[in-house]
Amino acid sequence: MANFLDTTVDELIENFEFLGDWEERFAYLIELGKKLPPLDESEMVEDNRVHGCQATVWLRMLPISGEPLAFEIRADADAFIVKGLIAVLLLVYSGRTAQQITATDCTETFARLGLDKHLSPTRRNGLHSMVSRIKALAAESVAQTV
């Protein structure tokens, strides 16, 4: 789960508000990305690839035993800023059930962090591609249990 970051979404937003300019915020995002546990090379395969990102991104959703069934999201990228964006997504989605994932709209979180205004269009598209992939995997798991 996202506990490797030792923070919550609300704390992340507070930290962003505390930091002055976007150069500091991007540096903070990069630091978060450096804390991501790396994927094993065996996980960096085409089936796990997120299309629509300028960077190369791999993403997996693994079930966490328990009731209700929740999912751990594991992901990696070849760009530091994208790794930071992945860390944000893990805070929002990892450790949740498929129903929670599909019902969660992260638009407000992105807006509160300022990501909607300060990411380049290609990074924004990539971020939305990652969200779409997470939601598609969650929807797939719901369909398989019905």
Active site residue ranges = 53
**Beta-bridge partners for 61:** 73
Report whether 69 contacts 98 (CB < 8 A): yes
- Backbone φ and ψ of 68, nearest 5°: -75, 160
Residue 7 CA: distances (Å) to CA of 18, 52, 76, 102, 123: 15, 28, 19, 22, 23
**Backbone angles phi and psi of 38, in degrees to 5:** -70, 150
Cis peptide before 68 (omega within 30 of 0): yes
